[in-house]
Every structure is written in structure tokens, then in C-alpha cells.
Amino acid sequence: MAARSLAVFPRSPVEHDGAVYGLASAAGVLRLLVAGPDGAAAGFEVAERAGSGRFVLHVCPVHHANAERLRAVLPGAAPSPLASRDATFGTGDRLGLAGPGHLAVFRRFAASPVLAQQSLRELTLTSRTYEEVLDASTWAVFREGWRDAWGADGDHLKSEEWVRRALAIGYTMITADVSDFIHGEWAVKSDAEALAQWQTLDAGVRRGLEERYLRSSFPVDTGEAVRFTPAELARTALVYGEAVDHAARLHRACVAQMGEGRFDFELSIDETATPTTPQAHVFMARESSRQGVAISSLAPRFVGEFQKGIDYLGDVREFERSFAVHAALCRSLGHRISVHSGSDKFSVFPAIGRLSRGRFHVKTAGTSWLEALRVVAAADPALFRDLYAHARRTYDNARKLYHVTPELSRLPDPAGLPAAAAAALLDDRDARQVLHITYGEMLAVPALKRRLFDLLAGSADAYAAALERHIGRHLAALGVPSRS
């Protein structure tokens, strides 16, 4: 490849330790460039060299080994813990193509991006690996000349093995999902039933919990205080006691892999049927802390419903009252509040930003996928119809993994769907949910996947602009200030 055929991304060049690094494209193929003395590219796989002596241009392939080396060499190419930041925002990129658009948003808004954010469910459905997800974010950061900190989240991890693996790969945040150890059936039992079961617990455990919770109140800066009755303590301990133990196991795995204080640890208790009470929030945070868990952020299960890719479902005023208590507890207990399934929750974003006093983490993913489909609908309505038709056919299978409630009877038939109607589906609540959760079904069809990626490769600027606009709406509604 002749050096003159390379088109350098203008924001990418950066000088470090006597060499200049940049990212370029030649006929649609990305190449890493390292310019400097002959040894400047040590540790990189080099495909071609041009020049000699004190100036050699090394042309390197863009692949995993070189991404790892870039993260080791260049400050900023690797993710960092972000717990000390006020506002952070997860932008899960299921296709590996959204990074430039996401970073364009964060140039405008003073929040820190968590760019590499995927769950094991998403990895399975997209046939990707944690390495591929992190590498895609690394190349986007490098391409766009992003110099500020950014994060990488091993999302909703349940096992010590996966926690260790994600951190070893280079992820800097672990979202610890303890839902398998939350016994929600006790949340709806009567006081008498909960108190009877409480008596079956070890007497020493009961005595310690009673001393810590029945003899104290837990004031917050709103002037309120959280208190426990005997029945509330019994119920909370029965629901969450084993979850505390599992959180401690996952945290110990993080410490064993990374050392103390070198990772962000988010505790997720949102994957339950019943909302998290203030008592449960206090119990999970304090009991986890007693076992040595340093919580960076905590994700409660809020009142109402945070379904995928649509606005909040529920009473907004009730949400505000409940969220205010949880946000105040976060301030009192020393961690930030986290909002999962945060895509498109515009009716409650202002309250989240205001009541958290600008200290929050919000996770999104599906909305960036839907913006990719919006680009498809505008550029190739026929492809969009094929994707939509496949989504309709496979919806029943996809919904086994997600809680959504669309009315399929209200959706138009894919056959003969006009171009204008195709684009309008991306603003329809029912269609958004169907298209959101069937991404894995679409990507499992090689022909559809190839057509989708080919179109987005040719529409990269349109996709980046769509993301900048749409994710920007999220951050603006959350009250994130503009960068000066």
C-alpha cells in the first residue's frame, strides 16, 4: 500500500514519546500509522515501512493485538475508572460503529462517556467478544482525538469468572448483577410471614442486624430519615441477604484481579419485579460495605417501568418522589445513582438530573441501535422493510429475553410499506420495542447483516450525525452543562 493512498483522520494524530501516531483509511480499510525513528513501532505488528533513519512511516493493521499495544502506549487510548466524575453516560454500541457519533456528543456536553458497555446477553446476540467491543471503542477514541477519560463497562456480570475476565481484558467498570440472589417472593409476603421466617435465621445474625437497623435511623439531606420496623427489617434481610453475600464475592474477585481502588464497582439490584425500597437501598449499601465492598454506583429498581427504547411508563410525580429519596441516600452513603434502560426516558430525565444534583450514571444501548435503523430507513427503505419483516417474524423468540409490552396489532404489515411510513416506525412506541429487542435475530441472518453493515459503512457521517443529535437530546434533558 503506497503511503500516498492513505487518508488520515484529521483529529487522530498525536505525538507521544518521540513518535507521531495517527489513524488513516485506504479504500475503506483502516490503518494505524506510527511515524518516527525505526524503533518507534516496537510492539506493533507492522505491515509496511516507508523511509529510513530518523523518520520511518510504519503502516500497521487495525486488529486486536495492535489495539492492545495502543492502549499500553498512548495515554487516553485505554479506558479509566470514572467514579470520581459527576455525570457519566453509557452508550452501548452493539455494532461497533457508533463511537465517532457518541464522541461528537461528549465534545458538546460535560459528561464522561462509558463507550464500551455490553452485557453477556448482548455479546451472545451480536456474536461479538469483550475484546472486540473494547477495541472498537479504542479505535474510535483514537480516530476522534478524544483526550479526556472514558470508561468500559462489563455490564450485568453475575459470576466471578466473568468479572475477572472482563477486568483482565481491560474493562474498568463492573456492573455486578446480583439478581439471582434476590428473593423477591418475600417482598410480597405479609408481615407475619416475614417475621416467622426471620426467626429461622441464625440468632447471632438477627441480633447484629437488629442492633444496626432497629436502634438507628438514617437521615438524608432532604430532612427525611429512613427507619426500619421489625417487619421491614425481616423482609429486607430475607429478600437481599444472599445478594449482599454475592456482591461481596464479585467485589473480592475484582480486587484479586486489579487491586483495591483500581476499578468502578456498580451494584445492580434493578432486575427485580418489585421496586427497591429506601430500606433495601440502605441495607444493600451498608451490609455490602461491612463486607468490604466499595460501591461506586447503585442501580435501584425504580417505581414504574423502564422498558426498552421508549419513554418512562408510570406516574412521573410518583417517580420523582421515590427517586428523590434514592438520590439523597446515594449522597449520604457515598455512591452515585445509576439508571438502567435509560434510553429515551425523556419525561423523567429532568428529574433525574435535578434530584441527583448532576451526579448520576445513565445506561443506554438500544437507542443507538434504533438510530442505525433510522439511517437505514432513510437510505434504503427496501432493506428496512426486510429487517422489519424479520423482526415481526422473530419477535416471539426475542421477547423471551426482554420485558416489553408492544401492541403488535397496531403495527403495519411490512409488505408494501411506503418509505415515509418506514421512517415513521422509528417514532412509534410499539415498533421501537419490536425493533429494539430483535437486533440479535436480524444480525443472525448473514445476508441481512452484510447489507446492514455495508449500508452503514457508506452512511457513516449520517449515522454519526443521528447519534450526536439523539444522544445529545438525552444529555440536554438530563441537564448536563455544555462544555465551555
Cα 20 from Cα 13, distance rounded (Å): 6
Q: SS3 for 177?
A: strand
Task: Tell which residue, 83, 149, 79, 86, has the closest CA to residue 117.
Answer: 79
Cα 121 from Cα 440, distance rounded (Å): 10
> How far from 329 is each of 238, 248, 277, 278, 318, CA to CA, in Å?
21, 20, 11, 8, 17
Helices 460-477/366-379 angle, 10° precision: 140
Report the 10 Å Cβ neighbour count for 235.
26
Catalytic residue status for 144: no
Report yes or no: 426 and 370 within 8 Å, Cβ to Cβ. yes
- Amino acid type, 352: I
Cell numbers placing 3: 503511503
Q: Which listed residue (155, 177, 264, 386) is catalytic?
A: 155
Residue with cell 434530584: 355
Q: Which listed residue (122, 153, 266, 380) is catalytic?
A: 266
Tell me the H-state helices in 259-365. 278-290, 316-333, 349-355
Cα 29 from Cα 188, distance rounded (Å): 57
Strands (E), 27-105: 29-36, 48-52, 55-61, 87-91
Residues composing the chain: 484
Catalytic residue status for 242: no
- Amino acid type, 3: A
Cell numbers placing 248: 461481596
Cα 433 from Cα 395, distance rounded (Å): 10
- Looking at the DSSP bridge assignments, the partners of residue 30 are 25
Report yes or no: 20 and 13 within 8 Å, Cβ to Cβ. yes
Task: Compute the radius of gyration of the chain from its Cα atoms.
Answer: 24
Catalytic residues: 155, 266
